């Protein structure tokens, strides 16, 4: 991510229709250096069949848009691939596609039979310039605009808007009410796309009387400053690089984490500081963290990183699922999950306590752990760079 860039935080959440095992809505996200692509599809009906067709729709559209295929070709491909219900005369899946130009925030939203998006600027809903065109035999709404820092764009399936059906006490939950609800929620602080989306889906669930009568999906896009993180773990194979690595860490604009006792000492010595251990954070199997000026977190290495990997997997990448405890593994997992882009400076010096120094560096315990953590974070849609030093 370049300095001054805007990051587009995207968070989808769905409710599954009561009595069904899977949701009939699907969301697909794809990022390229130039574009952020989001596709939401609502399969006709509910259950397995709706889920398969919605997923097929999102995969086709996202794959083609990522390859810069013209929208006309995308729509014609989807139209030619998906069948039409012979009874209702309707397409088996509706969809909305969002393409954001990363450099300037310009976006294009194309939707077929999907509810209009909600754009929030300065915490208030804004009107969108929309035109209707015909592509591939489908009538599409095309909306264009610009997402600026602090803006929020919400996409939804119609199950969100229909949440009041049969609920006498709460009539009128529709587009205007969703927009008003978002405005009220944003007055308490934007926070994150996840917080806003969860608020909308919680209210949707409440209005369904806790028994969803339809699949309901809400996807939030929040334009904000990127959260950057650098993790320095393990001494460099060439100890002459110690000083340059510490300088890189200290010049890094973002949060800084050091993992490993020897690594912490390298940073402290080059920085002219002393590590101060916080024994209150020690737990069985997880050594205590330490404090160091201008470093946000200092932990032990192998044991802590291994437990951190377990926590990230157990929590499925969701912050609120992490244990409520102040130990090195939880604190490290929290740093990694809160970050959008992560750089690992991973030293390849082998610790003989954990590893036979005569073995290849590529099969060291640290090498394996860092690789696994990085791969797990990539699956959680993080931008991850690993530099072996």
Q: By C-alpha distance, which of 190, 173, 176, 188 is closest to 121?
A: 190
Is 116 among the domain residues? yes
Residue 203's CB: how many other CB atoms inside 10 A?
19
How far is the C-alpha of 147 from the C-alpha of 224, rounded, in Å?
A: 10
CB 113 within 8 A of CB 148: no
What is the reported pLDDT for 148?
94
Q: From the CA atom positions of the chain, what is the Rg in Å?
A: 24
Residue 362 has pLDDT above 60, yes or no: no
Q: Are 51 and 43 within 8 A, CB to CB?
A: yes
By residue range, what is the domain housing residue 109? 7-224
Domain end call among 162, 192, 224:
224
Do 187 and 174 share a structural domain? Answer: yes
- Of 154, 191, 58, 70, the C-alpha closest to 112 is 58
More confident residue, 65 or 5: 65
Final residue of a domain: which of 182, 201, 224? 224
What is the model's pLDDT at position 357?
Answer: 53
Q: Are residues 164 and 73 in the same domain?
A: yes
Supply the DSSP symbol for 8. Answer: E
If asked whether residues 201 and 269 sit together in one domain, one would say no
210: number of Cβ within 10 Å = 8
Query: ∠139-140-141 over CA atoms, to 5°?
Result: 130
Number of domains in the chain: 2
Same domain, 236 and 137: no
Question: Both 247 and 122 in a single domain?
Answer: no
CATH number at residue 164: 3.60.40.10
**How do residues 177-192 score in pLDDT, each as one tens digit?**
999 999 999 988 767 8
CA distance 66 to 34: 10
191 belongs to a structural domain: yes
Residue with more model confidence, 170 or 5: 5
Tell me if the pTM is above 0.75.
Answer: yes
In a domain, 179, yes or no: yes
Interval 58-102: pLDDT, tens: 999 999 999 999 999 998 888 777 766 665 555 578 899 999 999
Among 90-99, 154-163, 240-249, 268-277, the range scoring the smallest mean pLDDT is: 90-99
Q: Where are the beta strands (DSSP E) in the chain?
A: 7-15, 25-31, 35-43, 93-101, 106-112, 118-121, 124-126, 129-135, 138-146, 152-156, 216-224, 228-233, 255-259, 276-278, 289-292, 295-299, 341-346, 383-388
DSSP, collapsed to helix, strand or coil, labels residue 164 as coil
Nearest C-alpha neighbor of 156 from the set 179, 140, 122: 179
């Amino acid at each position: 991510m370049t300095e001054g860039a805007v990051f587009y935080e995207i968070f989808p959440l769905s409710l599954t229709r009561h009595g069904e095992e899977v949701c009939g809505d699907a969301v697909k996200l794809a990022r390229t250096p130039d574009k952020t692509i989001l596709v939401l599809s609502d399969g006709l009906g509910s259950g397995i069949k709706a889920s398969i067709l919605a997923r097929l729709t999102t995969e086709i559209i996202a794959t083609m848009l990522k390859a810069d295929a013209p929208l006309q070709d995308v729509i014609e491909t989807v139209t030619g691939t998906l069948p039409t219900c012979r009874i209702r005369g309707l397409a088996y899946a509706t969809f909305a596609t969002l393409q954001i130009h990363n450099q300037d925030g310009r976006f294009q939203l194309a939707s077929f039979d999907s509810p209009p998006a909600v754009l929030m600027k300065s915490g208030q809903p804004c009107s969108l310039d929309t035109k209707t065109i015909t592509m591939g035999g489908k009538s599409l709404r095309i909306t264009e605009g610009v997402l600026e820092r602090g803006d929020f764009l919400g996409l939804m399936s119609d199950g969100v808007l229909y949440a009041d059906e049969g609920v006498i006490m709460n009539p009128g939950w529709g587009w205007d009410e969703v927009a008003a609800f978002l405005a009220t929620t944003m007055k308490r602080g934007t926070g994150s796309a996840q917080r806003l989306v969860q608020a909308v889906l919680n209210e949707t669930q409440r209005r369904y009387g806790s028994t969803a009568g339809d699949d309901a999906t809400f996807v939030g896009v929040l334009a904000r400053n990127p959260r950057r993180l650098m993790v320095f773990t393990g001494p460099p194979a060439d100890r002459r690089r110690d000083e340059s690595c510490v300088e890189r860490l200290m010049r890094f604009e973002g949060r800084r984490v050091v993992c490993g006792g020897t690594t912490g000492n390298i940073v402290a010595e080059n920085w002219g500081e002393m590590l101060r251990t916080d024994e209150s954070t020690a737990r069985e199997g997880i050594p205590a963290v330490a404090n160091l000026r201008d470093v946000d977190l200092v932990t032990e290495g192998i044991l802590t990183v291994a437990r951190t990997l377990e926590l990230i997997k157990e929590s499925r990448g969701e912050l609120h699922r992490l244990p409520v405890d102040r130990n090195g593994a939880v604190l490290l997992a929290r740093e990694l999950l809160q970050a959008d882009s992560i750089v690992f400076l991973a030293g390849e010096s082998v610790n003989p306590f954990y590893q036979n120094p005569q073995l290849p560096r590529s099969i060291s315990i640290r090498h394996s752990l860092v690789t696994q953590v990085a791969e797990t974070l990539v699956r959680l849609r993080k931008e991850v760079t690993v530099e072996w030093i």
